[in-house]
């Protein structure tokens, strides 16, 4: 009998059924459409959790990045400096605004934006409108250095914290350092609403404007009147109810993710071909996905062998500057992002995994790599 498949990361509803309570309330009050008490509550409760002033609940993390760029007045022909090692959803909204992405390398200390590469990019493009930094797999970027450089050049910092909800940098949550921060609640994230995102900022006026844009930019009039182009980006009351329930178990999910990472470190420590994600004393990661780097072993070989054992794994993100859709845009830096992509593997980090399943993963990796010494 084949073992049940171990997934990389999948939705994990609370055992207490918190989500059902909020969704039931929405059904009982017939408040199914976008907006409503759950949307207002989710915005307030998420903002309180990360200690930021204001939040706008949207349909995705991608739409949140789009609205952040628009709120930062990024428009046609503007330069936006963007971390290359990320998922395409970070960069696509730059194109939505008809702006021009310039990609920069990462460093090995964080796997995120290299401050030196950022400085070089801004020296080359001093009129850049925004910088989009990512906290990859829950690892915090070097925010002090990045914020100082952005301040020096007068450029707006946007944090893509889609993967890092619950990660702290010097005791403060990621997503709250830049002018704008975004979170994702996609099905594979640390908490999920099935799909959804949040834009956060201390700027109340800009968040109010984002809410306006994301509800089709409807002017205050009895008839349907629009003075600006709008977007159908607001989160539904049902989805927000799921989010409110998930927020109640976020701290538990962070603890579980960290325990998974520690398990892998302990059980795979004997394998010389493996090194782990960087950890820094100024940050505490949520370890959304536990990832490893391989030395002398083809990551595709290990992933194929894991798949044969019915275990899901994934490569590290392919950098944006290597993607066909973005290859015409400038790239500044070395080959760190490419090396991480070519040597990295994301291991199962599902918060529903049992110890037995975790041992299945590590025992499979030990069996495969013991033949590669």
Q: How many CB atoms lie within 10 A of CB 245?
A: 23
CATH number of 250-370: 3.90.1150.10
Digits of tens for pLDDT over the chain (373 positions)? 578 999 999 999 999 999 999 999 999 998 887 789 999 999 999 999 999 999 999 999 999 999 999 999 999 999 999 999 999 999 999 999 999 999 999 999 999 999 999 999 999 999 999 999 999 999 999 999 999 999 999 999 999 999 999 999 999 999 999 999 999 999 999 999 999 999 999 999 999 999 999 998 888 888 998 999 999 999 999 999 999 999 999 999 999 999 999 999 999 999 999 999 999 999 999 999 999 999 999 999 999 999 999 999 999 999 999 999 999 999 999 999 999 999 999 999 999 999 999 999 999 999 999 875 4
Q: Can you give the pLDDT at residue 303?
A: 98
Position 239 scores a pLDDT of 96
What pLDDT, on a 0 to 100 scale, did the predictor assign at position 372?
58
Cβ burial of 258 (10 Å; 0-12, 13-18, 19+) is middle
Active site residue 209: no
| Catalytic hit among 70, 129, 179, 189 | 189
Q: What span, in angstroms and rounded, lies between the C-alpha atoms of 314 and 120?
A: 32
Among 40, 111, 175, smallest CA distance to 184 is for 175
Token code pair at residue 341: 């992509």
CB 182 within 8 A of CB 132: no
Show me where the domains of the chain are located. 18-247, 250-370
pTM of the predicted model as reported, rounded to 2 decimal places? 0.96
Pick the CATH number of 18-247 from 3.40.109.10, 3.40.640.10, 3.30.70.20, 3.40.605.10: 3.40.640.10
């Amino acid at each position: 009998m084949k073992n049940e498949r171990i997934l990389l990361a999948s939705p994990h509803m609370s055992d207490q059924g918190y989500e059902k309570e909020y969704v039931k309330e929405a059904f009982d009050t017939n408040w199914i459409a976008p907006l409503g008490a759950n949307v207002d509550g989710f915005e307030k409760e998420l903002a309180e959790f990360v200690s930021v002033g204001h939040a706008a609940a949207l349909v995705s993390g991608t739409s949140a990045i789009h609205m952040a760029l628009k709120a930062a007045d990024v428009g046609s022909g503007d330069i936006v400096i963007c971390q290359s090692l990320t998922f395409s959803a970070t960069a696509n909204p730059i194109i939505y605004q008809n702006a021009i992405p310039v990609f920069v390398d990462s460093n090995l200390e964080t796997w995120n934006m290299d401050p030196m590469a950022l400085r070089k990019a801004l020296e080359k493009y001093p009129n850049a409108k925004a910088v989009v930094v990512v906290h990859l797999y829950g690892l915090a970027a070097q925010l002090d250095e990045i914020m100082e450089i952005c301040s020096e050049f007068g450029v707006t910092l946007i944090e893509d914290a889609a993967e890092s909800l619950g990660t702290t940098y010097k005791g403060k949550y990621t997503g709250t350092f830049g002018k704008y921060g975004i979170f994702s609640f996609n099905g594979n994230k640390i908490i999920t609403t099935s799909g959804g995102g949040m834009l956060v900022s201390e700027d109340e006026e800009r968040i109010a404007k984002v809410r306006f844009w994301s509800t089709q930019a409807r002017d205050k009039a009895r008839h349907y009147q629009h003075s600006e182009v709008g977007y159908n980006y607001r989160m539904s009351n049902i989805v927000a109810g799921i989010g409110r329930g998930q927020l109640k178990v976020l701290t538990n999910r962070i603890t579980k993710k960290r325990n998974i990472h520690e398990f892998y470190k302990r059980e795979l420590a004997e394998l010389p071909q493996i090194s782990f994600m960087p950890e820094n004393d100024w940050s505490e990661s949520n370890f959304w996905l536990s990832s490893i780097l391989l030395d002398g072993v083809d990551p595709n070989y290990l992933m194929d062998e894991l798949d044969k054992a019915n275990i899901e794994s994934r490569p590290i993100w392919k950098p944006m500057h290597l993607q066909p859709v973005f290859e015409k845009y400038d790239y500044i830096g070395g080959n760190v992002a490419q090396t991480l992509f070519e040597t990295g593997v994301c291991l199962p980090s599902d918060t529903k995994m049992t110890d037995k399943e975790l041992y299945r993963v590590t025992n499979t990796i030990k069996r495969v790599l013991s033949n590669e010494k």
